Amino acid sequence: MAYPTFASGDVLTASDMNAVGLWLIKTQTIGSAVSTVNVTSAFSSDYDNYLIQISNTVVSANQPNLGIRLGATATSYAYSGLYISFSSGTITGDVTTTATYFNVGACGNGTASAGRISMDVIVKNPNLPVASFFSATNGSLAWSNMYNGYINTSTQYTDFTILPSSGTLTGGKIRVYGMKN
């Protein structure tokens, strides 16, 4: 079969299905005015690496950072990155090795229009007993953000939490995809 182009009525063989690169593991709708969102049963031994997408959630605060934590670990996240203002063009570097979460970047200004964000985070190794690595891009109407980082623990995580540095999140979806090993 000439995948990935399938025709109506084609039989999907194991080899075709096993070649699927991204598998949607879970979709989580974000509630109203929540300060943290914990997504359970996201990581497992099925995949080494994951893509987490958050779309169309709105922050309540004025330009908070958005963070991600693995399990209950709330210390020693390392990240470096930069954020760029769409209004001024200013580029700012940002680096730490002692954060309480992996920083995905800065959000908009806390309104239903400009507070809307869209972000992708690739998480490598969260369920393996080695360091986990993050790569993130986050776009809002105010900022463009690019970050990389790690948490150097051997904990095998199954869940993660999304949280803004201030205020709350309302609406939108979190989608978790496993990347074919």
Partner 1 sequence: MTTKPKIQIDDEVREMTDEELADLLASGWSPDDENEPER
**Binding residues for partner 1 (CB under 8 A):** 28-40, 60-63, 74, 83, 85, 92, 100-101, 106, 110, 143, 163-168
Q: Residue 45 burial (CB < 10 Å; 0-12/13-18/19+)?
A: exposed
Within 13 Å and on the Cβ side, how many CA atoms surround 99? 24
> Would you say 5 or 98 has its CB closer to partner 1?
98
Q: Residue 15 burial (CB < 10 Å; 0-12/13-18/19+)?
A: exposed
> Would you say 16 or 170 has its CB closer to partner 1?
170
3-state secondary structure of 138: strand
Task: Quote the least distance from Cβ 20 to partner 1, whole Å.
Answer: 25
Residue matched to tokens 């084609």: 10
Task: Quote the least distance from Cβ 139 to partner 1, whole Å.
Answer: 15
> Would you say 69 or 133 has its CB closer to partner 1?
69
Task: Quote the least distance from Cβ 148 to partner 1, whole Å.
Answer: 20
Task: Quote the least distance from Cβ 100 to partner 1, whole Å.
Answer: 4
> Would you say 39 or 104 has its CB closer to partner 1?
39
Q: Identify whether the C-beta of residue 149 lies closer than 8 Å to the C-beta of residue 124.
A: no
